[in-house]
Structure formats: structure tokens, C-alpha cells
Amino acid sequence: MSSLKFAVLGTGFWSHFQIPAWHEVGGVELTAVYNRTVSKAERVAAKFGVPRVYGDVDELFQKEELDFVDIITEIDAHAPLVKKAAYHGVAVICQKPMAPDLQTAEDMVGSCRKAGVPLFIHENWRWQTPIRAVHGILCEDRIGRPFRARIDMISGFPVFDNQPFLKTLKHFILTDLGSHILDVARVLFGEASTLYCQTKQIHRDIQGEDVATVMMRMGAGTTVVCNMAYAGNFLEYDHFPQTYMFIEGERGSLELGPDYWIRVTTKDGTLSKRVPPPRFSWADPAYDVVHASIVPCNANVLAGLKGEGQAETTGEDNLKTVRLVFGAYDSAEKDGVVRF
């Protein structure tokens, strides 16, 4: 099959990593980039050798023959651009979080469903090398049925320095980071039946919450606690942006710890293995494990676009994660349990 032609809509921070990840995957041709601030689009086009630049998205859809678009804009622009692509019959890949609220996310999925247009969400966190390794171990049933788990992404990393717009979000850590962590919980343990959440704001110069704790009953009854924080405080172990886990099963335990070490403990003892991500020259070392995960995520979506397999992160699938995110906000506001 010939390469699929696509355009990137939005040329901010993440486009500088999303685009080279597509080059790693291959089988695609980036023909155009769009940004409201044309100079930003021009810089990205020059950097990656993209032939055409647009400051008007309607003009882009009129002039380009596209197989799909990759939307890498701020969250409020997602829905209008997704619906515009659906109107033009162009398949869509959209950055997470999908939408600023649940109703908008449902409308986006509904618009694409009605138009018969595939919608995928770029949910790459689940594609991190160590997280896929944990998933594989659980599928092998090496520790028996999990009954309790903890998933932690707690960091003092100055995340607002290179993404200052995050300070302005009314909803911050649950939409930004919770979209990833709650999605990982779903991948590992199934769907949630109940959820309870507490949030805090430690930074005083931001609009939203920067600390969240979510407890869920998932799958066959596993209790899962997700701890998230960008509090900016000092930590003994801060390997941003690594995710740590501790999973208790009926026949053993499984730990994902610092520096990508996985430890499986059973009656036979403890087996340890380091599972680092691949390294790419274009990745920011500070985001290494995250940027590396963009490549398999893109490859999986591309296979779905080409009809060569079922992509994992469809809009329909990601709606289940979005419901958890906004269920967490409801729980924190009411200080009560949300049932699904």
C-alpha cells in the first residue's frame, strides 16, 4: 500500500516529537502543517521539510488530498477541528485529553461515527516499554489474580516551564496526567465500577489542581489507587516522567520501580529485569520514556487506518477513560463515590 498522506494541525511543543515519530514509523507522507500563528507553522515546516503551510484550516481541507489529520493543538481546539475533519471525510488522530468536558468528547465521537470517519486518540502512555512489559507479565498470570495495585506518577519536575499554558487550565492534573494514568489502569485491570477521588492545589499561581488521588474498583474486583502530583516539591525518588507501580496478586507481587526495573516476587524468589525504552535522537532526554512511546502508538494507529489490525486507542475506547477523568472531578467536588 502506498504511503498515507496527512497534515498536522497545530505546531506547538508536542509537534516537534510527534512528527519525527511518524518518520520512525514510515508509511506516511506529511504534506502540510497548519497553525493560527503562521510563523510557528513555517518554522516547523522548515525543520521537517514539509512542503506547504497554512494559517487557514478551511483552505487546507479544500486544497489538500488527505488520508488523515493529526491534531496537536490545545484542548479547546480539538472538537472544532475533529468535526471539521469529519465533515470533509478525513480520518482523525487527536491529542489527549480528548476534550475539556465529557459532553464535548461524546459529541466528537458521535460526529465521527455519524460521518463514518475513523477517530483515534493519541494516548501514548500505555505504549511505554516498561508498562507494556508489566501488561505482558499480568497476561502471563505469573502473580495470580491481582487484588490490589498502586500506580504512581509523582514528580517535582517544573512542568510549567516548557508548557506555561498548563497554568491556565481550570482542570489540570486529572485531564493532563490523569488521562494517561487512568487509561493505564484500564489497560492493566479492566473497567472501573466505582471511583473515589481527592484533589489539592499546591502551586498558588495556577488555576487547576496539581495533586490527585483516585481509588477505583476495577475488573474482577482489583482495588487500584492512582497517585498523581506535579507539586514542585523535593522528592528522594524523582525520575520524571517514569510511572511506578506495585501490584499484589494471589500468588506474588509485581513492582515497576525507578530506572525501569521490574521485580516479580513469587514463592520461587524475586526475578529482576530492567526494561528501558528505546532512545531516539529527536527525543528530549527529560521526556525519554514518553517520547519513545509515541512511535508504537503511531504504528498501532497507522495499522488501524490501513485496515491491518485493530487500533487500541479509538475514540470509543478513550471515551471510557474520559468518563473516569470527569467522574474523578465529580467525586472530588461531592466528596463521594461515583458508580459506573
Please state, in angstroms and as integers, the Cα–Cα distance from residue 30 to each residue in 18, 274, 282, 308, 339, following that order.
Answer: 11, 36, 17, 21, 43
| Ramachandran angles phi, psi of 34, nearest 5° | -130, 140
Query: Which has more confidence, 156 or 85?
Result: 85
Quote the CA–CA distance of 146 and 188 in Å, as a whole number: 10
The string of pLDDT tens digits covering residues 184-226 is 999 999 999 999 999 999 999 999 999 999 999 999 899 999 9
Quote the CA–CA distance of 186 and 338 in Å, as a whole number: 16
pLDDT of 279 strictly over 90: yes
Residue 88 near residue 80, CB atoms below 8 Å = no
Query: What pLDDT does residue 54 have?
Result: 98
Query: What pLDDT does residue 2 have?
Result: 82
Local confidence band at 12 (pLDDT 50, 70, 90 cut-offs): very high
Q: What predicted TM-score, i.e. pTM, was given to this entire model?
A: 0.95
Average pLDDT over residues 48-69: 98
pLDDT of 249 strictly over 90: yes
Query: What pLDDT does residue 239 have?
Result: 84
Mean pLDDT score of the chain, rounded to an integer? 96
The string of pLDDT tens digits covering residues 25-48 is 999 999 999 999 999 999 999 999
Average pLDDT over residues 137-145: 97
Query: What pLDDT does residue 236 have?
Result: 81
pLDDT of 1 strictly over 70: no
Q: What are the structural domains of the chain? A: 4-122 (3.40.50.720), 126-284+313-339 (3.30.360.10)
Average pLDDT over residues 269-297: 96
Local confidence band at 112 (pLDDT 50, 70, 90 cut-offs): very high
Q: What is the dihedral of CA 31, 34, 39, 42, to 10 degrees?
A: -10
Q: Position 80: which residue type?
A: P
Question: Which residue spans within the chain are E strands per DSSP?
Answer: 4-9, 28-34, 52-54, 68-71, 91-95, 119-122, 146-154, 192-200, 211-218, 222-229, 244-249, 252-256, 261-266, 269-274, 338-339
- Tell how far CA 84 is from the center of its chain: 23
Average pLDDT over residues 242-249: 97
Collapse the DSSP code of 105 into the 3-class scheme (helix H, G, I; strand E, B; otherwise coil) and give the result. Answer: helix
pLDDT of 237 strictly over 80: no
Collapse the DSSP code of 185 into the 3-class scheme (helix H, G, I; strand E, B; otherwise coil) and give the result. Answer: helix
Quote the CA–CA distance of 79 and 71 in Å, as a whole number: 10
Residue 153 near residue 225, CB atoms below 8 Å = no
Query: What pLDDT does residue 165 have?
Result: 86
